Amino acid sequence: MKSRKVNLAVLASGSGSNLAALIDGVNDGVITDARVSVVISNKKDAYALQRAEKTGIQGISIKRSDFACDKDFDRYLLKKLREFKIDVVLLAGYMRILTEPVLEAYRERILNIHPSLLPEFGGKGMYGMRVHEEVIKSGAPVSGCTVHLVDENIDRGPILAQASVSVLPGETPQELAAKVLKEEHKLYPATVQKFIAELDI
């Protein structure tokens, strides 16, 4: 048993369906050792913030245009993470590349979920529907999703867990995306629980 609940921050830029899966994971007892303490978005109209509000979790939006450079943005983000005493940062469709201030402060404590079987179909520009389009274009018979640690190399941090799905003949990127997303919603909460259970807190 942990001496206290681990404080999670979820960073999201869009609808936040993986955020919803994480919140459900806490409520349903899949994640037993942690709570989502804050949701932070770089888009003030992100539906993820509404999801947070509906479940009584504080949501914060931070605009990149308010800062001179990416590092200044991330220094402010780090300040917010520290205000909420965050232990682990979870990326859930966060459309920004984290820079040194956050990466160094949370070394080996930032997780991301990616909609392919990394190291395939990862890296700069590979996000959202583009990933599924490239998977289908390649003729790969299998795709899936990956939870990994985040470091300076985009989508190249140590892999924590993966789940796979078959790519069917004639399948559209949208159909593949829906199948992969279902797996993401199961894999992310389970992997987060396993990860935090091993943390020395």
Average pLDDT value for the chain:
96
Q: Report residue 123's pLDDT band, with 50, 70 and 90 as the boundaries.
A: very high
Confirm whether 43 is domain-assigned: yes
| pLDDT above 80: residue 3 | no
pLDDT at position 1: 58
Residues 78 and 102 sit within 8 Å (Cβ to Cβ) = yes
Contacts of 153 (CB under 8 A, 6+ apart): none
- 129 contact partners, CB below 8 Å, separation of at least 6: 173, 174, 177
**pLDDT on residue 170:** 95
pLDDT of residue 200: 83
**Under 8 Å between Cβ of 165 and 179:** yes
Q: State residue 166's pLDDT score.
A: 98
Is 80 exceeded by the pLDDT of residue 145?
Answer: yes
- Tell me what the mean pLDDT of segment 54-67 comes to: 96
Residue 37 is predicted with a pLDDT of 98
Residue 14's alpha-carbon distances to 9, 30, 61, 125, in angstroms, are: 15, 24, 12, 16
CA 164 to CA 50: how far, in whole Å? 30
Extended beta strands in 21-61, E state:
34-41, 58-61
pLDDT value at residue 104:
97
- Residue 158 belongs to some domain of the structure: yes
CA nearest neighbour of 18 among 101, 109, 113: 113
Active site residue 114: yes
Q: Calculate mean pLDDT across residues 132-158.
A: 97
pLDDT of residue 201: 79
**Confidence at residue 4, expressed as pLDDT on a 0 to 100 scale:** 87
Taking residues 9-38, report their average pLDDT: 96
Q: What is the mean pLDDT of residues 100-120?
A: 98
The predicted structure's pLDDT at residue 138: 97
Q: Give the list of residues 6+ apart from residue 146 with CB closer than 8 angstroms, or none.
A: 113, 114, 116, 117, 118, 122, 159, 161, 162
Whether 175 is in a domain gets the answer: yes
What domain range includes position 163? 6-197
Q: Is residue 152 part of a domain?
A: yes
Q: What is the pLDDT of residues 155-189, one digit of tens each?
A: 999 999 999 999 999 999 999 999 999 999 999 99
Question: Which CATH number belongs to the domain containing residue 149 in this structure?
Answer: 3.40.50.170
194 token code pair: 């396993």
With bands split at pLDDT 50, 70 and 90, how would you rate the model's confidence at 44?
very high
Dihedral class, residue 52 (left if φ above 0, else alpha if ψ from -120 to 50, else beta): alpha
Give CA–CA dist 201/13, Å, rounded.
29
Region 61-70: mean pLDDT is 96
In this predicted structure, the answer to whether residue 86 has a pLDDT above a threshold of 80 is: yes
Is 1 a domain residue? no
- Give the chain's domain count: 1
